[in-house]
Amino acid sequence: MNGLSVSNLSFSYGTKPALQGVSFEVPAGHFCALLGPNGAGKSTLFALLTRLLTSPSGDIHIAGHALSKTPRAALAKLGIVFQQTTLDLDLSVRQNLNYFAALHGISGRDATRRIDAALDKLAMLERAGEKARNLNGGHRRRAEIARALVHDPAVLLLDEPTVGLDAAARAAITEHVHRLSDEGTTVLWATHLSDEVGPDDQLVILHRARVLVKGTCGDICGATPLAEKFLTLTASTA
């Protein structure tokens, strides 16, 4: 399978379980929203998916590569947008992307070509020379998403990428990333904002360290708005 697959993943901080038997799959080229209240385990799941943490139990496959067995091949297929901004604010957008490309072993003309293409996809090409510090929140995010695309990842992870952005910037970024999944990238988008999820999107609801429900958003909600459905689901198990 070419997308993202997580099976039977568990993790605990000391005795406090953060994830228990989490399993789900995102088929290649699909957009999957990972919805969960604060403390549901989203950040832990992201840390495990990006190998910042490792767990002795469970498996993660990224574009067919097992993260535990061939971590470098798996990470090479993974694009990541962290919740916190990880741009070097003193560097220009292009310098930031160049640094990232080099961390993936990409340099020279190849790097320039890929960086231009990635920035263009996010409509950020004309800002390539600007210092990251001078960009507004929405543009910083777009620069980070472009950066995550430089090495042509098969799977893109975004951890609450719209936090702190205004409505217009949020809508623009949500749309950009949906378009990426239409073009074939597998997307896992963690959020606690239900209006960022469309009816055709895959949905995984994480609650209290477990997967509460998974499927297509439309199938799960029916006629009920997702926000309402989400509250009912998380409240009934509270």
Partner 1 sequence: MSPYATSLIAIVKREALRFIHQRERFVAALVRPLVWFMVFAAGFRAALGLSIIPPYQTYITYETYIVPGLCGMILLFNGMQSSLSLVYDREMGSMKLLLTSPLPRWWLLFCRLIGSTSISILQVYTFLAIAAVFGVTMPLAGYFMALPAFIIAGVMLGALGLLLSSFIKQLENFAGVMNFVIFPMFFLSSALYPLWKMAESSQLLYTICALNPFTHAVELIRFALYLSFNGTALIWALLAATVFTLAALWGYKPARTGAGKKR
14 makes contact with partner 1 (CB under 8 A): yes
133 belongs to the binding site for partner 1 (CB under 8 A): no
By the rule CB under 8 A, 82 interacts with partner 1:
yes
For the bound state, the minimum distance from the C-beta of residue 176 to partner 1, rounded and expressed in Å, comes to 21
Question: Which CB, 70 or 216, lies closer to partner 1?
Answer: 70
By the rule CB under 8 A, 15 interacts with partner 1: no
Does 104 help bind partner 1 (rule: CB under 8 A)? yes
Q: How far apart are alpha carbons 153 and 58 in whole angstroms?
A: 23
State yes or no: residue 86 binds partner 1 (CB under 8 A). yes
The phi-psi region of residue 155 (left if phi > 0; otherwise alpha if psi is between -120 and 50; otherwise beta) is: beta
By three-state DSSP, how is residue 204 classified?
A: strand
Q: Please state, as a whole number, how many other Cβ atoms lie within 10 Å of the Cβ of residue 14.
A: 6
What are the φ and ψ backbone dihedral angles of 215, each rounded to 5 degrees? 155, -165
DSSP codes of every residue in 132-148: GGGS-HHHHHHHHHHHH
Part of the chain binding partner 1 (CB under 8 A), chosen from 96-104, 188-196, 215-223, 224-232: 96-104
Provide, rounded to whole angstroms, the least separation between the CB of residue 224 and partner 1: 32
Cβ(3)–Cβ(27) below 8 Å: yes
Looking from the CA of 93 toward its CB, the CA atoms found within 13 Å total 28
Measured distance CA(45)–CA(132) in Å, rounded: 28
Q: Which x/- pattern, by CB under 8 A, does the window 20-49 give for partner 1? A: -----------------------xx--x--
Q: Which residues lie below 8 Å from residue 53, measured CB to CB, with a gap of 6+?
A: 11, 44, 47
Q: Least distance in Å: CB of 6 to partner 1?
A: 17
Which CB atom, from 22 or from 226, has the smaller least distance to partner 1?
22
Burial profile 43-67: b = 16 or more Cβ within 10 angstroms, e = fewer: bbbbbbbbbeeebeebebbbbebeb
Least CB distance to partner 1 at residue 45 (A): 12
- With binding defined as CB under 8 A, does residue 134 bind partner 1? no
By CB under 8 A, residue 129 contacts partner 1:
no
Q: In this chain, which stretch among 75-83, 165-173, 218-226, 228-236 interacts with partner 1, using CB under 8 A?
A: 75-83
CA distance 2 to 85: 28
Residue whose CB is less far from partner 1, 154 or 226: 154
Among residues 9, 22, 30, 98, which is the contact residue for partner 1, using CB under 8 A? Answer: 98
**Amino acid identity for residue 206 in this structure:** L
Residues that bind partner 1 (CB under 8 A): 13-14, 16, 43-44, 47, 50-54, 72-73, 75-76, 78, 80, 82-88, 90-91, 95, 98-100, 102-108
